[in-house]
Amino acid sequence: LSTQLLQAQKMESVGRLAGGVAHDFNNMLSVILGYTELAMHRVPPHDPLYEDLREILSAAKRSSEITRQLLAFARKQTSSPKVIDLSDTVENMLKMLRRLIGEDIDLAWNPGPGLWTVNMDPAQISQILANLLVNARDAIGGVGKVTIETGNVSFDQDYCEDHNEFLPGDYVVLAVSDDGCGMDRKTRDRLFEPFFTTKEVGKGTGLGLATVYGIVSQNNGFINVYSEPGQGTTFRIYLPRHGGALSTAHQPGPATAPRGT
Ligand code: ADP
Instruction: Give me the chain's average pLDDT, please.
Output: 86
Give 153: exposed, middle or buried? Use CB within 10 Å, 0-12, 13-18, 19+.
middle
Task: Give the closest residue (by CA) to ligand 1 atom 19.
Answer: 135
Q: Which residue has the higher pLDDT, 125 or 15?
A: 125
**Mutation to probe ligand 1, out of 62, 128, 197 (largest number of atoms < 8 A from CB):** 197
Per-residue pLDDT band for 25 (boundaries 50, 70, 90) equals confident
| Cα–ligand 1 centroid distance for 193 (angstroms) | 10
Handedness of CA 11, 14, 17, 23 (dihedral sign): negative
Handedness of CA 154, 79, 93, 197 (dihedral sign): negative
Q: Which residue has the higher pLDDT, 77 or 122?
A: 122
Supply the pLDDT for residue 246: 57
The CA distance from 214 to 197, in Å, is 17
**Mutation to probe ligand 1, out of 135, 203, 224 (largest number of atoms < 8 A from CB):** 135
Task: Give the closest residue (by CA) to ligand 1 atom 18.
Answer: 135
**Mutation to probe ligand 1, out of 132, 191, 225, 231 (largest number of atoms < 8 A from CB):** 191
Give 256: exposed, middle or buried? Use CB within 10 Å, 0-12, 13-18, 19+.
buried
Ligand 1 atom at minimum distance from 198 CA: 14
pTM over 0.90: no
